Amino acid sequence: MLDSIKRFFSDKKSGKVARDRMQIVLLHDRLSIEPEIMENIKNEILAVLSKYMEIDHQSISVRVEQGKDYAAIVSNVHVKRVFRQAHTHTTNTG
């Protein structure tokens, strides 16, 4: 009895179920990233990290990890040395 009442109140309407499922499905579909775009992502990650630390450019890996209800971008890079100050390039407009 209590169970059926609980189910009555917690049961999501099928329209909501569809929307929630599609959010995950489309996220996963869209993460099938083209190789050229993946290459750009790698290069941009390397560029950002290089401002703060010396890294092994050959070591970078980027992959998409998909779980049941989540998707993640996982990147691994070997760090050789960390700079005390960020090596940012300031442009001189003077």
Which residue ranges make up the site for another protein (CB under 8 A)? 13-16, 18-19, 21-23, 25-26, 29-30, 34
In whole angstroms, the minimum distance from the beta carbon of 79 to another protein comes to 35
In whole angstroms, the minimum distance from the beta carbon of 19 to another protein comes to 4
Spell out a b/e string for 17-33, using b for 16 or more CB atoms within 10 Å of the CB, else e.
Answer: eeeeeeeeeeeeeeeee
Beta carbons of 60 and 71 less than 8 angstroms apart: no
* Of 11 and 65, CB closest to another protein: 11
* Of 32 and 93, CB closest to another protein: 32
